[in-house]
Amino acid sequence: MTERPQSPARYHSVAIVLHWLLVGLLVYQFALGLRLDELKGGDKFVAFQLHKSIGITVLLLSLARLALRLFVPRPAEFGEGAQKLAARLVHWGFYAVMLLGPLSGWIIVSTAKIKLPTMLFGVVPWPHLPLPVAFNAPADLAHTVLVWSLPALILLHVAGVLYHWRLRDEVPGRMFAAGLAGLSGIGAGLVWLGASAGLGFAGPLPNLWAVSPAPAPIAPLLPEPAASESADAASAEPAPTESAAGAETALSCDWTVESGSRLGFATQYGGTAINGTFRKWQARIKFCADDLPHASIAATVNLASAATGDPDRDENLHGASFFDAAQFAQARFTASGFKLLGPGRYAAGGSLSLHGVNRPVRVVFTLVQSGAKATAQGTATLSRLAFGVGSDEWAATDQIPDSVTVQFTIRATRAN
């Protein structure tokens, strides 16, 4: 007869790491979830993508934690009767939250009317579950119940730890890192909880893992930062008003975009005008009126920052049927070799990379300069279908025309 392995005094080191990692992720996820409804535009899209990524990560780590619990010896249960039952209920409550919470969220995403793609941390594509739409409402209810049970479970768990600390027994120390015990371990755990909650309430963390499109063929639309955004650099022109003919050549041809610049687009839906803006973009521009062959633009647009004033429409616009911002996060535009069309009026031929497609794009703009300040206004006309923007039922042009107008106003200052 095989003897049962003796219960260890502490949890396995891997179990301890998984425990505290899951604690941080769950608390951060809960706090971030409370922020989702108040976020707008591109920030909301990024937050939802991160929320989904962390949810799937919690699911996978919880499965690993459960397997470890089942196959690796752990410390013996403490107490008897009601005390032991309460401890079991809290622990299995946590497993329900860690497993069923992400699973119900996965079902919600998979059965939503607008199916946005999921890219784990902007890198790994995650599939939708093949479930009917009827699963959406029950999954949403289950997700809500599980989410709001988390703070109650945490409070019960912390109360249990403090109870055992008062008894001066060894139970709390079994899940602390080596060298931590008593109040030092409890303090470190509470700091970890607070830091995780603070990060979640602060909003989505930067996506440091996302693979940016290769910068080689920089070819996006002409971006312009909203008044509150800081764009890297932008175009403007020195239409020489200097008295000396050679004065301009001594000045810099680099221009910096200022607040008040704007990049927008215009189309229609069912005969109703739709006007939108890109809130986040960057641009580098070199422009001297007496050296047009060497003028250039290099711009990048954050597609998830597209906003039309309607959250539901914007969510659809960011999704796989249109920009597919989870997979193609940015559009890139480059142009060089400008041409003078008339007094203060110019054209630039360039290349736009959008939705994984590269196409030539011609931009026409007017330029007004006053000293070191300049304002450029212009348009470009694009075929959305040429870039694969608008798939499935949106590929038809009876509701949304193929032609989209890009409009921009750039206010810039000449670099010193």
Examine the pLDDT at 245 and tell me if it is beyond 50. no
Cα separation, 337 vs 341, in Å, equals: 13
Examine the pLDDT at 53 and tell me if it is beyond 60. yes
pLDDT at residue 221, as a whole number: 34
Instruction: Say if strands 118-120 and 124-126 run parallel, antiparallel, or are unpaired.
Output: antiparallel
Number of other CB atoms surrounding residue 199 within 10 Å: 16
- Indicate the pTM of the whole model: 0.54
The residues, ordered by sequence, that sit 6+ positions from 262 with a Cβ below 8 Å of its Cβ are 224, 225, 226, 227, 277, 407, 408, 409
Q: Which pLDDT band, with edges at 50, 70 and 90, does 171 fall under?
A: low
Encode pLDDT of 121-169 as tens digits: 777 778 888 888 889 899 999 999 998 998 888 888 888 777 777 777 6
Determine the topology of domain 248-414 in CATH. Lipocalin (2.40.128)
What's the rounded mean pLDDT across residues 229-248?
A: 38
C-alpha distances out from residue 29 to 44, 95, 125, 329, Å? 14, 16, 20, 23
More confident call, 279 vs 171: 279
What's the rounded mean pLDDT across residues 321-325?
A: 87
Q: Which pLDDT band, with edges at 50, 70 and 90, does 57 fall under?
A: very high
What's the rounded mean pLDDT across residues 166-177?
A: 69
Cα separation, 96 vs 198, in Å, equals: 24
More confident call, 232 vs 306: 306
Domain with CATH 2.40.128.110 in the chain: 248-414
